[in-house]
Structure 1
């Protein structure tokens, strides 16, 4: 591929480690994020669409207009989030038991059913909601499995960039949804809203095909005792790396998995809250819960309604501009997330997001709402919010969740984190209409004060809780957490065990550890197992 050749010629760390198969696998898997982006963003456009309100809403005799009542908006926007939360619980079991690829297939099948229910709804708002809930189950699986898969197939130097492709494609899906809504908004028939629903069939269909193409996660295969298959998968993903280094990497990853099982005895959900794993679970759960609390959930779901409330014209076109800005910002994260690191990026962006949300609250709450200058100032603050959030937390949340858990508990930790995150998301979506709308709290744009305060709390959380995890293999992170390294010392702490060697091997070099005889943390590292030995280990894992 020409692009990978050009990247290698740049002589950067990214260019050194990327290759066509690895790039193809990452991008194909990230398409699932586009499906999530479509589902997440088309709904806010429909809520403000006149034809949709007429076909699915109720007539208000006071305003002499069709509308979707606030209570309906709350249920229609919030209940599917409950479906996503349930989907994350399903994902933990499927991903651990059957692997990442079979989880893709399962998610795609559920999505197709949910979209079909929505597409066949002619005038029933509640049928649409049911279809969204079913489709949301697949979204829960996707947001759990895709970042894990991308984090497991990528070397340490590329993990941030590759997991960020999930967020980039999510934004692309959102951009597609808002463009279609904008283009169809003025129609006076059902196609004003039906096209954006039907087009959601495309990505799940591609996901089904992709299940036959994508290699299974080598780390999952190793955890299941299928070392030979893992070696073949890594040879494909690490094209150009000597076979001896790949085999050595498989041995060490397998030993790291066994070490974690030996140290923690159990690999159930309760173990996520014991010993050093408690810290890892709190980190993953923290980023998932804090992101929607910083206004992300509200802005995504009610953006069109917010624009209308503060009197901004051409709200659909404005949303398109916002998504272009977010995609440009997220493109920067492909480099910044690994070069600058997660910790400074998330701290700085949380501070800036807090400031922009306070600006929205102040301008809409205490300034002259008929002033064009105030409207432009509010719009500028909203644009700043979206830009900063996209360059910081939007992508780093998934990167952090992919790398914080240990291999033996990755699915379970991710399940806990995403479930808690979507519960917070659900609460915000249910409460937001009542906080904003007339007849209730009527905060309108002043709701920014609430989310701005939460963003400041998130910045402090990053400062005192979140360690810098970039540039380390997943196995080296295991060692750092086992050593209980302080958040302030995490970045520069030197490790000398299995994890450090895996990090070196992922970069195509070796620290010289003899895998045939070296004893690390009391566990002997053995050569690659024979097929008979692999069968014995698989049977032991099933017991």
Structure 2
């Protein structure tokens, strides 16, 4: 039976709350991501903003507005900035560290907020959106990296998933602030929602100045003593404690093994056994976007308005609230039920919901020759909104947080920053493509597809693909350390068999045996005394088989 609470294993020494508190604070960076992506939906629907930023276009209701192509550029340029920002994150993360990289990224974001706040015309506003996106892209790749490298393994899923929870809070705050300023007939209508983002960035910067660097980065840089001090702060025990030394030995041994087969480049992320992991992470992040969640939060206000709903801002606030609340059960379940079952059943729920929304909207809505909605069924509208909310529940409790959890833990230390940067960049590339293409797909007119509610058939198809993707490619990594996850991928060839796997040895044990076999050669794993054996001793024959297996499947 599944217990309601996730409990700290009795064998884990030290305190768990410091690492949990640190991981949850770092997740606050998701508010920047969620608020920045969520606020633009309301701003685009504000009368004052439409009049001020219009370049002569008049919409179908006779009101001055930006054109659909300009709207597409405004929304999608943030995602273009995030794409390049996430790709650039390893250069900061592997050079100045995870902690200072987050601080530097926040200042880039602040520059973008300054430009958007000062703007009274499209060019400066677009520039601000790009730089804000660049900062968000850096942050979105760095936060799961920092969290994964500091969180205890037994609750790592919930901590990394809290990043998605913070994103949903950001989306909700954006909806609330947009709702509060929508009727203002001055620049405060859009400047207030934009300028609020200064507070989120300053909070993140202030906190990161006080937090420790990740032990795994310090081991990567050869700073063993600093890594011990960092880990002791996370566990609240002495740096010389046996549990600290044992954990550092495993991290060091894993790193030494990776470095023994050469340094890493971006190409190494696609070579040998790493190819499967890299494509799994990129596919997961791409499919997360293709489920259609950002259509609701980027264009939801305008879409509901075009569908004849009288108060679209209220509907947007309701969907944002559901997004926040629904994330909570997912954070509990990820470390109790596991990654595979949650992603699989979440995909099934999203698939059914999107199909029903598409059918309800397509069969009950009509347009005149100018594309205006003239026939709509109130009951069908309410049912469609209900199924949108059900879809959001399934997304927020499964694919929303778990895409970040899985990608944050399946890569080895050697390539982790680079691999994560590419999975996050994939997320933002699809985010950009959807944001850019949606106005052309949904709107009426020459050169536009006028899909309206039929767009949900696209999201339904993507959700159907999600089901197969999880079944064949997602490994169950619940409860394993990052080093054990590395061993899991090297020993198990089929994702369907991953749930029954258990580790046979640790990297530190294998390296200790290697040192003995090589005539007593000292390795980094031998710096301190060997940990008490937790698994049966290996015979020389078993050890030879183990080495042969890992030589055939190097972790690059």
TM over 0.5: yes
Shift of 1:310: 1.8
| Residue in 2 that maps onto 1:373 | 379
Is residue 485 of structure 1 aligned with residue 493 of structure 2?
yes
Task: Supply the distance in 1 between the matched residues of 2:496 and 2:525 (Cα, whole angstroms).
Answer: 37
User: Which whole-Å CA distance do the structure 1 matches of 2:403 and 2:60 have between them?
Assistant: 44
2-structure distance, mates of 1:356, 1:372: 19
| Larger mean Cα displacement after TM superposition, 26-35 or 396-405 | 26-35
Structure 2: 5+ residue stretches without partners: 366-374, 529-556
- The 5 A counterparts of 1:285-324 are 285-324=282-321
Distance across 2 between alignment mates of 1:496 and 1:62:
67
Aligned to 2:407: 401
Cα deviation, 1:264-299, whole Å, max 9, x if unaligned, reads 423111111111111110111111111111112322
Question: Quick check: 1:517–1:526 contact (8 Å CA) kept in 2?
Answer: no
Q: Secondary structure at the match of 1:67?
A: coil
- Corresponding residue for 1:100? 98
Task: Give the match for residue 461 of structure 1.
Answer: 469
Partner of 2:150: 153
**Do the aligned partners of 2:346 and 2:399 also contact (CA within 8 Å) in 1?**
yes
Q: 1:113 to 1:195 in 2, by over 3 A?
A: same
Asked if the contact 2:253/2:525 (under 8 Å) is kept, the reply is: no
- Provide the C-alpha distance between the structure 2 equivalents of 1:527 and 1:15, rounded to a whole number of angstroms: 25
The residue aligned with 1:391 is 397
Map 1:223-302 to 2 at 5 A. Answer: 223-240=220-237, 243-262=241-260, 264-302=261-299
From 4, 7, 14, give the equivalent of 1:12: 7
Q: Deviations over 1:437-477 (max 9, x none)?
A: 01111111110001110110011111111111111110011
Give deviations 1:366-390, integer Å, cap 9, x for gaps.
1255221111111111111111100
CA distance in 2, matches of 1:62, 1:418: 37
Moved more, 182-191 or 71-80: 182-191
CA distance in structure 2 between the aligned counterparts of 1:519 and 1:354, rounded to whole angstroms: 53
Q: Please state whether the residue corresponding to 1:490 is helix, strand or coil.
A: helix
Contact 1:227 1:529 in 2 (8 A): no
**1:25-40 pair list within 5 angstroms:** 25-40=22-37
Q: How does 1:421-440 map to 2 (within 5 A)?
A: 421-439=427-445, 440=448
Equivalent residues of 1:479, 1:497 under 8 A apart: no
Aligned residues: 509
In the other structure, the counterpart of 1:141 is 138
Q: Residues of 2 paired with 1:256 and 1:219: CA distance?
A: 10
TM-score by length of 1: 0.89
Within the alignment, does 1:186 sit opposite 2:194 as a pair? no
Q: What is the Cα deviation at residue 494 of structure 1?
A: 2.0
Q: Is the 8 A contact 2:6 2:332 kept in 1?
A: no
Pairing 1:211–2:208 present: yes
- Greater mean alpha carbon deviation, residues 85-94 or residues 483-492: 483-492
- Where does the alignment leave 5 or more consecutive residues of structure 1 unmatched? 1-8, 502-512, 531-543
Instruction: Indicate how the Cα distance of structure 1 residues 218 and 65 shifts in structure 2: closer, same or farther if over 3 A, else same.
Output: same
Structure 2 CA distance, aligned partners of 1:519 and 1:464?
38
Kept after mapping to 1: 8 A contact 2:472/2:494: no
Instruction: Calculate the aligned-residue CA RMSD, in Å.
Output: 2.4
Which residue pairs with 1:446 in the alignment?
454
CA displacement at 1:24 relative to structure 2: 2.5
Label 1:521 to 1:119 Cα distance change in 2 as closer, same or farther (>3 A).
Answer: farther
Q: Deviations over 1:83-121 (max 9, x none)?
A: 100001110111112110111111111011111111111
1:516 Cα shift? 6.3
Q: 1:463 to 1:62 in 2, by over 3 A?
A: closer
Q: Distance in 2 between matches of 1:232 and 1:430?
A: 47
Counterpart-to-counterpart distance in 2, 1:520 and 1:281: 34
Partner residue in 2 for 1:4: none
> How far did 1:351 drift?
1.4
Listed one character per residue, the Cα deviations across residues 476-500 of structure 1 (whole Å, up to 9, x for unaligned) are 111111224321111111212226x
Equivalent residue for 1:382?
388
Once residues 125 and 233 of structure 1 are traced to their aligned partners in structure 2, the CA distance between those partners, rounded to angstroms, is 46
